[in-house]
Structure 1
């Protein structure tokens, strides 16, 4: 049995997300970034009047220390529930992977168990990310608070 994975370049580290966890891939637009966003929140994408938090995976995973300009071909990967987007250096491909090629990763081996499995592609190890485990509960709660504040600001502007 095969499963489809969206292949990502995250600061030179090959990663993947299950295809069903992704709504769409977007070119990097201008993001609104409140000063209290923290180091892993790249800002908010205004998606039809709804603020969507954008998580910078390279900074979250400690692969890049400073914000700096995004990569030349940076993409946003919008989660299937359209409630979160992930900033990556590039979406590189969509690949079908045989179930037997996946190697499970024990929960304790990665922070919050965010890497669920690995597979090999072009002689490189690809880390399969579990979308619901990328953020810890505390990080998700903080992002939710900032998202509510962004929603309130957008609503206040709409009534002006």
Structure 2
């Protein structure tokens, strides 16, 4: 089956997100990072007056990966479930058929296949709903609510 995907670059890795999961691609915005956040949560950006969490997908897929500096030309990919992913680059939108995944590359079932690209490389297809566990989603929701409360307190003064 053929579908449309947003191709992302994170370091040397290319990921493919189904376009059905993508709300918009944004330039890098100021990220508010209060202390004590879990490692994959970089902080929050303010969109339409509300905090939206920003996650580092490479840390979700590999918790031991180093956290490098953020490039000024990075992109935020806002997902339909109101989470942003910080990526080095949102490269292109392509249409293609997903091929089988090489054994051992599933990364906790978050990677569901490989998408061949025109340049001969492949992009790993990400199942967005599998990036976070249910408990992680609940924690993220609580942290986002706390960020909204903090933001409301600052604007009320």
TM-score using structure 2 length: 0.88
How far 1:28 sits from its partner (Å)? 0.7
Q: Residue 13 of structure 1 corresponds to which residue in structure 2?
A: 13
Deviation at 1:109, TM superposition (A): 5.7
Task: Please state how far the C-alpha of 1:63 moved relative to its aligned partner.
Answer: 7.8
SS at match of 1:103: coil
1:76 counterpart residue number = 76
Contact 1:116 1:129 in 2 (8 A): yes
CA, structure 1 residues 145+63, in 2 after alignment: closer, same or farther (shift >3 Å)? closer
After the TM superposition, which parts of structure 1 deviate over 4 Å for at least 4 consecutive aligned residues?
Answer: none
Q: Verify: 1:135 aligned to 2:127, yes or no.
A: no
Counterparts in 2 of 1:111 and 1:65: CA distance versus 1, 3 Å: closer
RMSD: 2.1
Residue deviations 1:44-71 (CA, integer Å, cap 9, x gap):
0111221100011122222873433213
For 1:78 and 1:152, locate their aligned partners in 2 and report how far apart those are by CA, in whole Å: 21
Q: Provide the rounded CA distance (Å) in 2 between the counterparts of 1:64 and 1:87.
A: 17
Equivalent in the alignment of 1:145: 142
In 1, distance between residues paired with 2:132 and 2:98?
A: 22
Of stretches 22-31 and 119-128 in structure 1, the one that deviates more from structure 2 is 119-128
1:27 maps to which residue? 27
Counterpart of 1:86 in structure 2 is 85
- Output the CA distance in 2 between the equivalents of 1:32 and 1:102: 36
TM-score, normalised on structure 1? Answer: 0.86
